[in-house]
Amino acid sequence: MEKKKKTNRTGHFAGGRASNRVDRVDPYGFERSEDFDFDSYEELMSEYLVVLTRRSIKWSKLLKSKKKVQKNVKLKRYVRKGIPNEHRALVWMAASGAQDQFEKNPGYYQMLLGAQHDPKLVETILTDLNRTFPDNILFSETSRPCLQKPLYNVLLAYGHHNSTVGYCQGMNFIAGYLLIVTKDEEKSFWLMDALLSRILPDYYSPAMLGLKMDQEVLGELVKIKTPQVWRTMIDHNVMWTLVVSRWFICLYIDVLPVETVLRIWDCLFYEGSKILFRVALTLINHNQTLIQQARSLPDVVQIFKQITQGPFVNDCHTFLQHIFTEPGSLSTSTLTKLRARCRSHIISEES
């Protein structure tokens, strides 16, 4: 996949003075693309900064009064409204159980790094090292500090920690985001472990059964919630994997805008993988008329790319409100049942 052309950092953005006020690099180190809409961004940020400030004050108060982050209704509400970036590592670690593992296993991460390495695993990881966020200044080989080495370490340690999974493409992006947010290798490792061993189904194992299962589950949910979209997919013979495999594998990285992804991840670490369906169903439901206009398979593919861009997803705060209302009810028991049914269906078809 090709990244959008890099921003010309020396200048010349036609007109629009917002481009002079807004940084060419976002707060997470990503260079803004050439077609970045600085004016809309500035307008959006003028509102979102108010939200961020308000949330930041509330979070500081909440965390000051607590010795340990405890999961409760209030915290859940707070998480859904967004964790300030300065507290993300702390809350993600606590809510996902990564902190417990981290404390229970002192020295484990270093031990993994110190042990003999599987050369095949090393090679596979190295292939993707230069291909992880080349548009992020923190990952550029010339930057100091450069996150490529920590990225390599986290992936290598994880590959040895969970040899069934080893390394799967997509994990590089996840580890990359974790490093950007936590700025800490070991915490990134334990968060990776929380995601892969507890929060997500088996997306990354060689059979990718969890991925196939969730793609099929999404299809079933769309069939119930937006049957016309489901019909469109059948009519054009589009397999769900074609349009949504990256959504699941990359947990919306490089699919949705960075800030939106992080807001989704806040809920992912706190509430679990159900949130991934809420996001997918919201995108589909919100754009169902557009999807139904598709006249061919390439049309469908194009539209599914289109719906992950634009004002609806850029406004992360409103988008996050939508995902809890727009798709309607989605109970854990429904999801559990659907997953079980789809999993056994796939297993029986593959055997």
Partner 1 sequence: MSRKKASKGKSTCSSPSTAGLMGKGTGKPARGSPGIVQMNGVVHPSRPSISSSNEFYDIAFKVMLVGDSGVGKTCLLVRFKDAAFLAGSFISTVGIDFRNKVLDIDGVKVKLQIWDTAGQERFRSVTHAYYRDAHALLLLYDVTNKSSFENIRAWLTEIHEYAQQDVVLMLLGNKADATHDRVVKREDGEKLAKEFGVPFMETSARTGLNVELAFTAVAKELKHRSVKDPSEKFKLQEYVNKEMRSSGCCRS
For partner 1, the binding residues (CB under 8 A) are 1-3, 5-6, 123-124, 127-128, 130-135, 168-170, 172-173, 204-208, 211-212, 216, 219-220, 230, 233-235, 237-242, 245-246, 249-250, 254, 295-296, 298-299, 301-302, 342, 345-346, 349
Nearer to partner 1, 59 or 240 (CB): 240
CB 311, CB 258: distance < 8 Å: no
d(CA 112, CA 156): 8
In the complex, the smallest distance separating the C-beta of residue 3 from partner 1, rounded to whole angstroms, is 5
Nearer to partner 1, 211 or 268 (CB): 211
Sign of the C-alpha dihedral computed for residues 123, 6, 242 and 310 taken in this order: positive
CB 179, CB 151: distance < 8 Å: yes
In the complex, the smallest distance separating the C-beta of residue 240 from partner 1, rounded to whole angstroms, is 6
In the complex, the smallest distance separating the C-beta of residue 314 from partner 1, rounded to whole angstroms, is 21
In the complex, the smallest distance separating the C-beta of residue 58 from partner 1, rounded to whole angstroms, is 36
d(CA 348, CA 351): 5
* Amino acid (1-letter code) at residue 306: Q
Nearer to partner 1, 101 or 273 (CB): 273
Sign of the C-alpha dihedral computed for residues 252, 256, 261 and 264 taken in this order: negative
In the complex, the smallest distance separating the C-beta of residue 154 from partner 1, rounded to whole angstroms, is 16
CB atoms within 10 A of CB 199: 21
Q: What is the three-class DSSP state of 31?
A: strand
In the complex, the smallest distance separating the C-beta of residue 40 from partner 1, rounded to whole angstroms, is 23
Nearer to partner 1, 150 or 219 (CB): 219
Q: How many residues does the chain have?
A: 351
In the complex, the smallest distance separating the C-beta of residue 109 from partner 1, rounded to whole angstroms, is 25
The full 3-state SS of 160-175, as one line of letters, equals: HHCCCCCCCCCHHHHH
Contacts of 332 (CB under 8 A, 6+ apart): 274
CB 280, CB 247: distance < 8 Å: yes
Nearer to partner 1, 82 or 170 (CB): 170
CB 169, CB 66: distance < 8 Å: no
In the complex, the smallest distance separating the C-beta of residue 261 from partner 1, rounded to whole angstroms, is 14
Nearer to partner 1, 168 or 192 (CB): 168
Nearer to partner 1, 63 or 301 (CB): 301
User: Burial of 297 by CB count in 10 Å (0-12 exposed, 13-18 middle, 19+ buried)?
Assistant: middle
CB atoms within 10 A of CB 150: 22
Nearer to partner 1, 114 or 134 (CB): 134
